[in-house]
Each structure stands twice: as C-alpha cells, then as structure tokens.
Amino acid sequence: MKRKHIITISIVGIVIILFLGLLIYINVNSGVNPPFTVVESESMQHNNTESQIGVIDTGDMIYVQSPDKTDIVSYVDGYKSGYESFGDYGSVIVYKRPNGNPVIHRAIVWVEKVGSKWTIESLNGYDESLWNINDEHEYEEVTGILTMTFKSGYRNITCTIDLSGLIQSGYLTLGDNSSTNLNFDQVSVSGIHNKPISKEMIKSVATTEIPWIGCLKLILNGKDSKVEVHASNSIEYLIVFFVTMFLLIIASSYCFDEINMYWISRKI
C-alpha cells in the first residue's frame, strides 16, 4: 500500500476515533439525553434584536448537564461570590412545567418553606439595597411581600412576590430579558404560578453556549421569523463560520499533499 494511502487512512481513522470519543465524553459528562438544547425563545437575551456571544440568545445551542453532575448557584449567591454564567450572576437552569415547553431561566434565590413561613438564607449578607421583605431585612421564618431589584447594564427592574402564596420550597426564577420578563416566573409563567422550582422539577443546568448553530433547526422547522426578529445577525455569522470551516478543510488538504510530497521525495 502506498504511503499516501496509509497516511490518509490513518488520519481518517484518528478523526473517527476522536469524534466517537468526544460523543461518548459529551453524553457521559452531561448525564442528560440529549445533551444539547436549542433555544427558541428570546427570554434570556440581553439585546432583543441581535445575538451576543456569552449570552443565551434565540437560535443558540446550549450544552446542558444533569443537576447531579454540576452545582446550581443562585443569582443571589453568585452576586455574593462573584460567580457568573451567560452574562450575569448565578446558574441558568432548564425546568419542567405541567404545560408547554421546558423553560430555560436563571435561578434567582432558594426559598425554604418552614411551617407556614419562609426562610431565605441566601439573603443573609446580600446587598440590602437590592431586597426587602415587608420593607424589612429579616430573612428567617418570614411571610409577606418579597421585593428584589435587579440592576445591571442590560436591565433595571424590581420584582415582587407574596411569599404567603407559595406552595413549596424551591428556586424563584427569572429570564434575563427585561422586555419579556418583568416579574418572577412564579408570578408570570403559565403552569408554575406560586410554585418555586424544586430540585425534582429541574431537568438540567445550562453550562456552555454554542452560538448560532441552533438557528438551522429553527429555520428548518419554519420558525425563521424568530431568528430574523431576535437574532438577525446569526445567519451572517453562520455563513462566515461555514466559509471558514471550508477554507480550513482546503488548507488541511493542501498540507496533507505537501506532507505526502515530502515523504515521496525522501523515498526517492
């Protein structure tokens, strides 16, 4: 067999082995099937008309992990520790609801039911200008109105919820997009009214963004209007990406030919 054929077969074999190994690692490390989810909603966008790298936008593909495989850090705890993901404090979770698609929103704070009252331990040490319960800063065995303010470069809103109406311990959640998310999900999202997100309701945790790729699925499913309205620059970036990949393949082929010519000349 010619050396050229041996090199080609070896390279193809290595690529296949690496690809299969990567697929196995992704699935095992994720603990969720499938390990990726395509974002159809604009509810996590920081810019309502364009996709941004590092933020969850319409048409992004997100690598997710089982809650058993990674920690969940609430927005409040992330604020205190400095932990951020996808452009803001805390973790983004995917949770199930009785009706409709799963929701991918940020975990804001864990509220713990204690008899007929509530304890929100994470508020201990949290900036008091950003929260209060009945205009006070007591966080143990309380009830009444929780008020939280969110100030950042992309939003400035105040959310309120009546703790006495909540029915279980769990996370209060909120999407990043302040145009479509003006209050906690437990006030505004269908199917989870007054229902904090318990650990059993959490389907997965978002860990890595793969920008733009999911737009292909939305377009094929006839949802191209979502891409055009909320991520108008994604198609341009996809074209640049595929052209770059094509040029890299051409360049790689050229390099392989040069290597073959080198070995042939050495043999001569």
Give the residue with greater pLDDT, 222 vs 252. 222
pTM assigned to the model: 0.85
Residue 4 banded pLDDT, cuts 50, 70, 90: low
- Are 105 and 43 contacting, i.e. CB atoms less than 8 angstroms apart? yes
Q: Which of 10, 83, 39 is nearest to 211 (CA)?
A: 39
Here the tokens at position 43 are 């509810």
Look at residue 12 in the predicted model and tell me its pLDDT: 60
**CB proximity list for 257: less than 8 A, separation 6 or greater:** none
Look at residue 116 in the predicted model and tell me its pLDDT: 93
Look at residue 256 in the predicted model and tell me its pLDDT: 65
Specify the 3-state DSSP secondary structure of 251.
helix
What is the share, in percent, of the chain residues with pLDDT greater than 90? 63
Tens digit of each residue's pLDDT (9 = 90 or more) over 138-150 = 999 999 999 999 9
- Are 56 and 45 contacting, i.e. CB atoms less than 8 angstroms apart? yes
Q: Which of 72, 98, 90, 45 is nearest to 233 (CA)?
A: 45
Report whether pLDDT(266) > 90. Answer: no
Specify the 3-state DSSP secondary structure of 147.
strand
Look at residue 47 in the predicted model and tell me its pLDDT: 87
**CB proximity list for 58: less than 8 A, separation 6 or greater:** 39, 40, 41, 42, 45, 51, 215, 218, 226, 227, 230, 231, 234
Q: How far apart are CA 202 and CA 171, in angstroms?
A: 10
Tens digit of each residue's pLDDT (9 = 90 or more) over 29-82 = 778 988 999 999 999 999 888 899 999 999 999 999 999 999 999 999 999 999
Tens digit of each residue's pLDDT (9 = 90 or more) over 89-148 = 999 999 999 888 899 999 999 999 999 999 999 999 999 999 999 999 999 999 999 999
Tens digit of each residue's pLDDT (9 = 90 or more) over 186-222 = 999 989 999 999 999 999 999 999 999 999 999 899 9
